Amino acid sequence: MYDVAIIGAGISGTCIARELSKYNVKAVLIEKDTDVANGTTKANSAIVHAGYDAKPGTLKAKFNVLGNAMFDQLCEELQVPFKRIGSFVVAFNEEEMKTLQELYEKGLKNGVPDMEIISGEQVLAMEPNLSPSIVGALHAKTGGIVGPWELAIAAAENAVDNGVEIKLESQVTNIEKIEGGYRIFMGAEQLDTKYVINCAGLYADEIHNMVAPPAFKILPRRGQYNIFDKSVGNFVNKVVFPCPNEFGKGVLVAPTVHGNLLVGPDAEDLEDRTALNTTAHGLGFIRDHSVRTAEKIPFNAIITAFAGLRARPDTGDFIIEEVQEAKGFIDVAGIESPGLTAAPAIAVYVVELLQQMAGFEKKDNFNPHRREVVHFMDLTNEEKAAMIQKDPRYGRIICRCENITEGEIVDVIKRSAGARTVDGVKRRARPGSGRCQGGFCGPRVMEILAREMNIEIVDVVKDSRASYILTEPTKQTAITEETMESVAASKEQ
């Protein structure tokens, strides 16, 4: 029997798994997809929010501010890209200046440090590409940007290295209350556990409803984004928001930790929890709205678009509590924005809740660090030379756009909670994230995946099991192989 089963390997589940791995517990992280960080975690604004948005007194406000303060140490320990570049909320008129003042005061109540309201001139001096009609901004110096899936992947890897088990492609189909805990069914498979943590994101209500009467609903809210080429990554230096509205924080313009430019999202309430398609309307919306903030956004440098679904709860706040009707079952639900920022603090809180119930013992050999991650292009020339000498696979570039080596790709496949799909490799090592979007490196990455996982290249998938890339050998290959076999056979005779 497991002590703890965590359902869902998004940012919440992986951060909780890692926090839990500091204790002597038998824990398992259950994920329906082929990879961790595969839902909302991989498709959001990638922002570490300062914490002035949330209503004072809410869990959102509390965990946003607590979480924000944890990022420096966490990202250093886990070697995750994070930059505290600061954020602007910009105002275009006196009324919006009042909104800034309200945000500032909310920030003070929430305990946000290092905020200031600055003039339009100061804004333009710091961000010359923004609209000259901006009259002022709330500058929150603790705002930042992070690699969201990198953080979840790193947390999962570190959790596994510290003893947590991980089960991928395991969709929870039912949960039964048993003596001293729960039995979790995943299709034909099942496992027993004393405690359950429900981090199922868009499906958290469904998982909750397996053990208790409905208490909340998850209402998917889609957001669409564009990513721009690195050549325009320095278009802005900070995260730039317009004034918030009823649908959220508005269309932001921000650099990414990898040096691209990110523009989005819109906000669209949907029924379908799998509607990850972008639309002409949505992409048009983010374009129309972002140009108000910065007229000269170089839309000819777009390299891709994506959509994410926020797991919005109908309660208005994060739901982080033991379910009354199901002892030992903890909901971590409705983790919409600022969920990414809050996740590390939520993890600490959830593990404290568990501690009160179970009294787990702290480990003395917890290792907070991941094995060293090599970014070949960030090395000095001397280091590059030494790296290739040590492992020649670092001397072979697979991704031409971002100069990513075979060594780096093999490494992310070999790590704990490592990549098993083309998208998994892309999220960890970035081949296919550049301007050619995998045109050149796709075939090579598939070849490496097939070799390292010892599978046929036709069995390499993009993401899900059903997302096959190649169908079958061509007629000519088939004929050649047949001919070769018959030649070989005739020689034997």
Partner 1 sequence: MLKYDIVVIGGGPAGLAAAIEAKKNGVDNILILERDRELGGILQQCIHNGFGLHIFKEELTGPEYAQRFIEELYDLGIDYKLDTMVLDIQADRSISAINTTDGFMQIQAEAIILSMGCRERTRGAINIPGTRPAGVYSAGTAQRFVNMEGYMVGKKVVILGSGDIGLIMARRLTLEGAEVKAVAELMPYSGGLTRNIVQCLEDFNIPLYLSHTLTDIRGKDRVEGVTIAKVDENRRPIPGTEMHYECDTLLLSVGLIPENELSKNAGIQLDGITGGPIVNEAMETSVEGIFACGNVVHVHDLVDWVTEESRKAGKNAARYVKKELSKEGHMMKTQPGKGIRYIVPHTLRLNNLEDSVDLMMRVDDIYHDVKMIVSIDGEQVKTMKKRHLAPGEMESVKVSLKELLDRKGTVISIAIEKEGA
Confirm or reject binding of residue 135 to partner 1 (CB under 8 A): no
Least distance (Å) from partner 1 to the CB of residue 305? 6
CA distance 428 to 411: 10
Phi and psi (nearest 5°) for 58?
-85, 165
Among 192, 440, 452, 453, binds partner 1 (CB under 8 A): 440
**What H or E segment, with its residue span, contains residue 306?**
strand 302-313
**Residue from the set 124, 135, 191, 276 that interacts with partner 1 by CB under 8 A:** 276
The residues, any chain, with a CB within 8 Å of residue 125's CB and separated by 6 or more, are none
- Binding segment for partner 1 among 106-114, 138-146, 366-374, 392-400 (CB under 8 A)? 392-400
Whose Cβ is closer to partner 1: residue 471's or residue 493's? 471
Closest CA to 420 of 360, 464, 364: 464
For residue 201, count other CB atoms closer than 10 A to its CB.
30
Interaction with partner 1 in 298-357: which residues (CB under 8 A)?
A: 302-306
Interface residue with partner 1, options 93, 190, 367, 389 (CB under 8 A) = 389
- Spatial distance between the Cα atoms of 459 and 30, rounded to a whole number of angstroms: 23
Stretch that binds partner 1, among 147-155, 178-186, 226-234, 235-243 (CB under 8 A): 226-234
Distance CA 223, CA 262 (A): 13
Query: Phi-psi region for residue 126, left (φ > 0), alpha (ψ -120 to 50) or beta?
Result: alpha
From the CB of 131, what's the least distance to partner 1, in Å?
A: 23
Instruction: Establish if 437 lies at the interface with partner 1 (CB under 8 A).
Output: yes
Q: How far is the CB of 335 from partner 1 (least distance, A)?
A: 23
Nearest distance, CB of residue 481 and partner 1, angstroms:
9
User: In this complex, which beta carbon is closest to partner 1, that of residue 37 or of residue 137?
Assistant: 37
Q: How far apart are the first and last CA of the chain?
A: 59
Pick between residue 58 and residue 231 the one whose CB is nearest to partner 1.
231
**Span of 52-60, 70-78, 83-91, 376-384 interacting with partner 1 by CB under 8 A:** 376-384
Instruction: Verify binding: residue 473, partner 1, rule CB under 8 A.
Output: yes
Q: Looking at the DSSP assignment, which residues form a beta bridge with residue 321?
A: 331
Strand partners, 340: none
Find the DSSP H helices in 135-194: 148-161
Which residues touch 242 (CB under 8 Å, ≥6 apart)?
A: 89, 90, 250, 251, 252, 289, 292, 293
Q: Is 438 in the site for partner 1 (CB under 8 A)?
A: yes
364: CB partners within 8 A, 6+ apart: none
Closer residue to partner 1 (CB): 142 or 278: 278
User: Which residues are bridge partners to 25 per DSSP?
Assistant: none
Of 124, 135, 436, 453, the one binding partner 1 by CB under 8 A: 436
Residues written for the chain: 493
Nearer to partner 1, 344 or 442 (CB): 442
Q: Is 443 in the site for partner 1 (CB under 8 A)?
A: yes
Which residues have a catalytic role annotated?
49
Does 226 help bind partner 1 (rule: CB under 8 A)?
yes
Output 365 or 476, the one with its CB closest to partner 1.
Answer: 476
Neighbours of 199 (CB within 10 A): 31
Give me the least distance between CB of 288 and partner 1, in Å please: 14
The residues binding partner 1 (CB under 8 A) are 226-227, 231, 274, 276-280, 282-283, 302-306, 377, 381, 384-385, 388-389, 392-397, 400-401, 403, 435-440, 442-443, 447, 457-458, 461-477
